[in-house]
Chain A
Amino acid sequence: MSIRQAMLAILEQGPMYGYQLRAEFEQRTGETWPLNIGQVYTTLTRLERDGLVEVVVGDAGSGNAGHGGVGEPLGSDRTHVYRATEAGRSEVSEWFATPVPRSQPPRDELAIKLAIAVTLPGVDVGTIIQRQRTATMASLQDYTRLKRTGRAATPQEPADLAWSLVLDALVFDAEAEVRWLDHCEARLRRAAAEREGVRPGASTPSTEGATR
């Protein structure tokens, strides 16, 4: 999963505590994919087990770790400073060198919902589409508000630019969803009109519109 590689890649900047790693991640991605600290340490433990990271300052070093550990609950993991190993660094290069596969599209609940809905007689697909479009549009408005205000609007640091690009990804994603919903609606209306046959005098604006 990409969180593992993302954490490993951030560690290329230099050795870090777990909570620093989380802060660095969120600096770039906002709170779009929140990481809880437990997850961070679980991942680090696994990376260590797999030989991809190593501990540079351990429990014993907590006294001379400078700013580290302040306000952090004492558990052995929390006082560790982690560093990427040679193997870890080559895994990162591998990650950057390989395109993210699209062969298995992430499960798309909306596509599944509509795919089922259009086959069921009692379901008002038009209403499902309209509700979804309104909801997606509202999210799109929220992303856009974040884009034009705050640190994404005037990026000062590379991490701000990263965050504004993440917002763009969310924007394009939501936009694609709205377009797909428009497309579904138009196709369903055309299919319905063809089933009924075009009745003269009846209001069939979607077909009129198509010829404009």
Chain B
Amino acid sequence: MNAVLHLAAVSRVHGEGATEVHALRSVTFRAHPGELVAVMGPSGSGKSTLLTLAGGLDAPTSGSVRIEGHDLATLDNAGRARIRRTSVGYVFQDFNLIPALTAAENVALPRELDGEKSRIARRLAVTALEEVGIADLVDRFPDEMSGGQQQRVAIARAIVGERRLILADEPTGALDTDTGEEILRLLRARCDAGAAGVMVTHEARHAAWADRVVFLRDGVVVDETGSDEPEVLLVEEAGR
């Protein structure tokens, strides 16, 4: 199966000399259609770095990043921006909403930039906001919403339209247990419908919704759980 996302021996070094920081060291990572992958690791281990490289928001020092077969390094800025808008949904750790736009406008923006008629873009945006459970807030501005509500707008923006790759940095960070679970259900459903998802999380309970959990330490993948075939411990269905 072709990976939607393929990082091959990717390294990212910030700064140089004495202040050099190896945020990622030769990481190879794939996400396939239908697969949700969780990335866990302590603060500073390189999780956000991995995600920004995967989303084409930053470029690796060495190694290559491919999205649906396109090597991002071979594309010009416009080409990368296009892939980001059309194929990739990105949920930022700090939401990154545009303060001057309402919830619906924030969510509709990437569609409109991509040439969608604004009426249609708005309808898609409202549907996505319904899906994350805040249909009543479509015309609010970010500073009129709670942290958890802003987070849900950010998630709606990432899932609007047919994104093939959803990258989410701590998507449940500002949410209570129940809302967090709703969001996971939603990401899970998108992946079950064929998207590839990569989600950074500190919460083991949330990571457990993924098919695979990757552990990062000091910029290196140290371990991985889960494969595509489920190894069920408790065979509940058999007992029925």
Contacts and interface: CB of A to CB of B under 8 A. Distances in A.
B215 interface: yes
Contact of A137 (B213, B222, B236): B213
B69 interface: no
B44 A186 contact: no
A140 B188 CA distance: 16
Contact of A130 (B205, B213, B215, B232): B215
B42 A30 contact: no
Interface of A: 26, 30-32, 130-131, 133-146, 148, 150-152, 163, 171-172, 174-175, 178-179, 182, 185-186, 200-201, 203, 205-206, 208-210, 212
A26 B205 contact: no
Contacts of A32: 234
A99 B84 CA distance: 55
A130 B44 contact: no
A169 to B, nearest CB: 12
Contacts, number: 102
A6 to B, nearest CB: 17
Contacts of A212: 43-44
Interface stretch (B108-116, B158-166, B223-231): B223-231
Contacts of B209: 144, 148
A137 B213 CA distance: 8
A30 B230 contact: no
B225 A175 contact: no
B210 interface: yes
B222 A141 contact: no
B176 to A, nearest CB: 15
Shortest beta-carbon contacts, A-B, top 8: A209-B44, A209-B43, A178-B204, A144-B208, A140-B208, A138-B225, A175-B205, A142-B233
Given A31-B235, A140-B207, 8 more contacts: A135-B225, A143-B233, A175-B203, A186-B42, A205-B45, A205-B218, A206-B42, A209-B43
B45 A201 contact: no
B235 A141 contact: no
A102 B225 CA distance: 32
User: Looking at chain B's contact residues, is the secondary structure mostly helix, strand, loop, or mixed?
Assistant: loop
A135 B219 CA distance: 22
A138 B42 CA distance: 19
7 contacts: A130-B223, A150-B237, A151-B240, A185-B42, A203-B22, A205-B44, A205-B45
B183 to A, nearest CB: 13
B222 A140 contact: no
B205 A145 contact: no
A53 B18 CA distance: 77
Contacts of B185: 148
Interface in B1-59: 18, 21-22, 42-45
Contacts of A171: 205, 208
A179 B43 CA distance: 14
B147 to A, nearest CB: 19
Contact of B239 (A26, A135, A136): A26
B230 A208 contact: no
